[in-house]
Structure 1
Amino acid sequence: MAGRHSASCLPAPAPHTLQPQQVIVPFTAGICTRFEDTFVSKRATLHQIFCLIAGCSQTSPLNATALALRRCTMPSSPATPQLKLMDRQRRFELTDLFPKDPYGEPPKRHGIAELVNSGKAVELVEIEKSGHQGRRWLHFPNHQNERDTGTPANRRLLGWRKWLFEAFVPVGFPSSVSSDYAAYQTYDSLQAFFSTITSLLANRALLQGLGVGDANSSATYAMLLTVLKDATSRIATIIFAHRFGLVIEPEAKKYRFLADLFNDSAFFLELFSPYFGSFGKAAALCVGEALRAVCGVAAGASKAALSAHFAQQDNLSELNAKEASQETAIGLIGLLVGTIIVHLVENQTVVLVMMVVLVYMHLRMNLKGVRAVQLKTLNKQRASILFEWYQTMGYVLTPMKVAEMESILFWNGKITNALEEPVCRIDYARSFEDAMGTLETRGEVIVVDGFMHTRFVRPYCSPKKLADIKIIMWEGAEPQHVILAWFSAMQTAYVMEKSVPYGDARKEDFYRSKDDKGPERLIDQLHGGARDELLWEKMERYSWDLKAGSLEGGDSARISTTCSRVSVDH
């Protein structure tokens, strides 16, 4: 029997033995079919034996799923069907998909149409993109379909579970998202619930601040105050997006938490606004609106970065849509509970206590949510934690371990030496002038060339005057070069102390031009730590994303190494 797709020849089975074989055929949906000669019931006992139909040895890269076919027949002889192989070395031709002899007897086909229209009962199993089995179907000879749901209890549960999953979680969950998605969404839903109740309590105070219920207030005053609030909000949005737009993605967890911190601060300003005077009330409401605008920018940008991390099967749009559905459902529940609380609680002291408790729970859930995220991209903090452990302990940490050690808000950026003393700060230079420093300190700078980067090292003097290493990447540097530059700078700081203020920058094998009166220019040597192959192999094995450019940041400078010499007359 000749297959219409490339396949591997299998050894002939022993006579009178059962030889089950499977084949994968590229298609838009994965279905596993099983034929029965006589269909009596779902549990009918049949005499069946498996044989290979046709197919290819691996799935096509052009299709997201695969079709697995099995047919139950009784062979007339124990001989194994012979498969016609395609020569993998020669060029693929379109005619390979069709019979070579169009005038001869056409080969026996075993496609889906033949199996479904054969007049026999067929069991179909859907295969998801991830390769896991999905829903099971029974196709009857009268072209009726019935979903195989197992026991009657499972059938009763199937309805609401199916609706719940399809409405609020991505298709193919949990295999279609990262492993930390469920934990983050659980805490995110809880924090949204507490935030909704808090907003209702604050909105009541906001209406009082706008003059609702005050006979001395006018509609004009409320309108002007609203216009002032909106103008402040728009200006704050533009300024914050311009200033922090490039740093939100590498620090997505930090700004996701800060967004809710800004929002809760706005709630408290609105809560106390009725107790201020006319000017104080307007100032409090405008500042609160500006904080809420900043919250919107920070939350939106950080959520986009986190969603890109969660999406595993090109389902970013669907994941965002389902997250919006989750927030809507939780918001409805929060509105119901919050309405009851607002109706029952009017004492200002009780309202203040409830606000404090709700805000604490809101921030607590948000902190737990962002801490549960195990980002695989390296920012400055995660890169420092990763290489510090490898440099001191010889271990390469996984994204989960680094997430447990990562600080959400209070990372000071100080790099320690072998004695665990803070000695240095490392950063990517925003310009060549930023790398060289001020005119007074340029004489102390040592310039070190590394692989596709240059480091500008200022000495370590005391715990109050730490060393400073600025990195400038060369034109054409890849994300791996950016990571290597950071590791190399950390290795320089690792051997810094008062007696060795430049760390390993002052090596014996460096050269210095006698005619050059500027800063020393060093040629970097191979590092045993930063360039250790074991380090990079384990980073790839532990699924660290070495191709993401989130470490350098968008405001850093790059220098072309094809510079010309310019004569300067003094």
Structure 2
Amino acid sequence: MSEPILLELVERDDAGNVTSTYIESTSSESKSRVDIVLPAESKGRVQRLMDVFLPAGYPQSVTEDYIQYQIYDSLQAFSSSIAGMLSSRAVLEGVGVGDASASPTAALLLSVLQESMGRVATILFAHRLGTSLEPECKMYRLAADIFNDTAMVLDCLSPAFPKVARVIILSLSSILRSLCGVCAGSSKASLSAHFAKRGNLGELNAKDSSQETVISLFGMLAGTVVVSWVSTPFATWSTLIALLSIHLATNYAAVKSVSMRCLNRQRANLVLSNLLQSGHISTPAEVSQKERIFEKDGVLRWTDDGIIGHCSVGVSMAVLLNSMDRARQRASSLGLQTTRISDLMQMYGERGYVLWKGQESATVVVVLKRGCSPRDQLQAWAQALLLARRDRTRLSDQKAADGVADDRLSELRWTLDEAARLFEKYEAELINVGWDLDVAALEVRPGHRIEVGVGQ
């Protein structure tokens, strides 16, 4: 007769695997005992080795696209390590290694010049494009490797030029590498935050560093064989082009595999235009397959019609007033009613933004109010899509071509109400399919905010 079980405790690791089972049972003398039952199958050596390089709790602790991205990322790092050794050899030849007439002082000064120009470029680039690095992290992740590969090509070209031209080429190469560092570092931080599901960002970055260390080590070992066998110019360039092609192809595949959950400008175009046209709610995975890695700045795209206009979010109030002034001059010449800024402010009331688009303009301008939320920005983008679409349709009408125009304020009010109804209806469903509406990813330049006051 089996002993009655009083309690059973199952212990699992971070990944959900059973590590031990604790069973408390009673004997015939009413005494209790605890038995420990180990799982029949334990982790093999390969799995234990993989645990060293994968985040704790994998795969539950990371997003589904993590492993695919890491595989491609490892392949690109491996090919980049070998290509980097070829370019380093060319740089050493360029600074005079093996040349008895070369001066160590000249090589040192060249190194100082390269470092100085690279650091200045880092500061300027971070100031100019720092705001756009997170919203467009996939684009800048690929751009970083394009910069890096271009720098390698310049390094390999440098020995063929005179010393003065060589200094310029190597300095330009240093600048490109610095741009690569800014883009890669910032985009990697955004991608890591996307992959981490359990607040394990620090550990994920640490494991990613371990992966890069091992891949770079293997790359250097393979590179020592390659550089010893490849010595002629033709063989060097053939090998370099092949490695850089693999590098860029695997990088493209890596960023393409990532399904970001925040709505930047391009993803907002895809999701919102589908909603407005058919009511279909696109998932992050569906959008990742359709989005371009390099997209034109600030374009408004409709599902079927392509580019229907442009939108600038977070502009200065002066930009909006200039656009209204041009529209006012056109309306006066046609004998139409003009829109006052006070009417515009009254219409938007408690909204977190103010939007304007002249009928003759292809650009929608959005001024953000102080305290504007990410959802206010998304609603502004939805209204911009509606307004640009409506104006595009009107332009195809012969009456519009003849100069007949509707009241702009009425158009703005209608699109404002439609955008508000859209979010009221679909906001919960967008969140349910995986979109994070609390991340502001539409503003890619340092923006301005206004406060609306009432005159006495």
The verdict on a shared fold, with TM-score over 0.5 as the criterion, is yes
Q: What are the equivalent positions in structure 2 for 1:332-351 lying under 5 Å apart?
A: 332-351=217-236
From 475, 478, 487, give the equivalent of 2:382: 487
Other-structure match for 1:384: 269
Shift of 1:559: 1.2
Alpha-carbon distance in structure 1 between the residues aligned to 2:283 and 2:181:
32
Whether 1:126 aligns to 2:17 is no
The CA deviation string for residues 388-415 of structure 1, in whole angstroms up to 9 with x for no partner, is: 1112222110001111111001335433
Other-structure match for 1:171: 56
The residue type equivalent to 1:471 in the other structure is V
Other-structure match for 1:93: none
Other-structure match for 2:145: 260
Compare the two structures and name the one with the higher helix fraction: 2
Between stretches 421-430 and 287-296, larger displacement belongs to: 421-430
Whether 1:541 aligns to 2:432 is yes
Higher alpha-carbon Rg: 1
The CA deviation string for residues 52-73 of structure 1, in whole angstroms up to 9 with x for no partner, is: xxxxxxxxxxxxxxxxxx35xx
Shift of 1:337: 0.7
Q: Secondary structure at the match of 1:547?
A: coil
The CA deviation string for residues 43-96 of structure 1, in whole angstroms up to 9 with x for no partner, is: xx834356xxxxxxxxxxxxxxxxxxx35xxxxxxxxxxxxxxxxxxxxxxxxx
Structure 1 contact 479–549 (Cα < 8 Å) conserved: yes
Alpha-carbon distance in structure 2 between the residues aligned to 1:405 and 1:220:
53
Shift of 1:224: 1.0
Shift of 1:467: 1.2
From 371, 378, 386, give the equivalent of 1:476: 371
From 188, 211, 214, give the equivalent of 1:326: 211
Alpha-carbon distance in structure 2 between the residues aligned to 1:144 and 1:563:
75
Shift of 1:496: 1.2
Gaps (5+ residues) in structure 1?
A: 1-44, 51-69, 72-122, 461-465, 511-520, 566-570
Q: Secondary structure at the match of 2:357?
A: strand
Shift of 1:249: 0.3
Other-structure match for 1:202: 87
Structure 1 contact 229–286 (Cα < 8 Å) conserved: yes
Q: What are the equivalent positions in structure 2 for 1:156-235 lying under 5 Å apart?
A: 158-165=44-51, 167-235=52-120
Structure 1 contact 137–148 (Cα < 8 Å) conserved: yes
Alpha-carbon distance in structure 2 between the residues aligned to 1:335 and 1:223:
25
Alpha-carbon distance in structure 1 between the residues aligned to 2:172 and 2:76:
23
Alpha-carbon distance in structure 2 between the residues aligned to 1:406 and 1:421:
13
Other-structure match for 2:28: none
Q: Secondary structure at the match of 1:329?
A: helix
The residue type equivalent to 1:487 in the other structure is A
The residue type equivalent to 1:556 in the other structure is G
From 182, 185, 188, give the equivalent of 1:300: 185
* Pair 506,201 (structure 1): closer, same or farther in 2 beyond 3 Å: same
Q: Secondary structure at the match of 2:391?
A: coil
From 136, 155, 158, give the equivalent of 2:20: 136
- Select the structure with the greater relative contact order (CA < 8 A; seq sep ≥ 6): 2
The CA deviation string for residues 153-179 of structure 1, in whole angstroms up to 9 with x for no partner, is: x45x534422321x1011000000111
Structure 1 contact 423–493 (Cα < 8 Å) conserved: yes
From 454, 468, 476, give the equivalent of 2:354: 454
Structure 2 contact 13–57 (Cα < 8 Å) conserved: no
Structure 1 contact 196–338 (Cα < 8 Å) conserved: yes
Alpha-carbon distance in structure 2 between the residues aligned to 1:308 and 1:418:
30
Shift of 1:419: 7.3
Between stretches 316-325 and 388-397, larger displacement belongs to: 388-397
The residue type equivalent to 1:492 in the other structure is L
Other-structure match for 2:29: none
Structure 1 contact 168–323 (Cα < 8 Å) conserved: yes
The CA deviation string for residues 107-142 of structure 1, in whole angstroms up to 9 with x for no partner, is: xxxxxxxxxxxxxxxx642264x8x3442256999x
Q: Secondary structure at the match of 2:132?
A: coil
Structure 2 contact 359–408 (Cα < 8 Å) conserved: no
Alpha-carbon distance in structure 1 between the residues aligned to 2:10 and 2:281:
45
* Pair 239,144 (structure 1): closer, same or farther in 2 beyond 3 Å: farther
Whether 1:551 aligns to 2:445 is no
Other-structure match for 1:248: 133
Q: What are the equivalent positions in structure 2 for 1:307-456 lying under 5 Å apart?
A: 307-411=192-296, 413-416=298-301, 420=305, 422-437=307-322, 441=326, 443=328, 448=344, 449-450=347-348, 451-456=351-356
Other-structure match for 1:289: 174
Alpha-carbon distance in structure 1 between the residues aligned to 2:247 and 2:175:
20
Shift of 1:358: 0.6
Other-structure match for 2:38: 148
* Pair 438,420 (structure 1): closer, same or farther in 2 beyond 3 Å: closer
Whether 1:527 aligns to 2:411 is no
Alpha-carbon distance in structure 2 between the residues aligned to 1:418 and 1:269:
41
Alpha-carbon distance in structure 2 between the residues aligned to 1:140 and 1:339:
60
Alpha-carbon distance in structure 2 between the residues aligned to 1:405 and 1:164:
33
Shift of 1:473: 1.7
* Pair 297,522 (structure 1): closer, same or farther in 2 beyond 3 Å: closer
Alpha-carbon distance in structure 1 between the residues aligned to 2:208 and 2:359:
49
Gaps (5+ residues) in structure 2?
A: 26-32, 331-337
Aligned residues with identical type, % of pairs = 32
The CA deviation string for residues 430-470 of structure 1, in whole angstroms up to 9 with x for no partner, is: 3111223379736359665443211121224xxxxx61110
User: How many equivalent residue pairs?
Assistant: 425
Q: What is the TM-score normalised by the length of structure 1?
A: 0.69
Structure 1 contact 417–496 (Cα < 8 Å) conserved: no
Shift of 1:350: 0.9
The residue type equivalent to 1:281 in the other structure is R
Structure 1 contact 418–494 (Cα < 8 Å) conserved: no
Shift of 1:554: 5.3
Other-structure match for 1:63: none
Q: What is the TM-score normalised by the length of structure 2?
A: 0.85
Other-structure match for 1:239: 124
Structure 1 contact 273–285 (Cα < 8 Å) conserved: yes
Alpha-carbon distance in structure 2 between the residues aligned to 1:284 and 1:509:
55
* Pair 321,421 (structure 1): closer, same or farther in 2 beyond 3 Å: closer
Structure 1 contact 194–334 (Cα < 8 Å) conserved: yes
Q: Secondary structure at the match of 2:131?
A: coil
Alpha-carbon distance in structure 2 between the residues aligned to 1:319 and 1:303:
11
Structure 1 contact 454–471 (Cα < 8 Å) conserved: yes
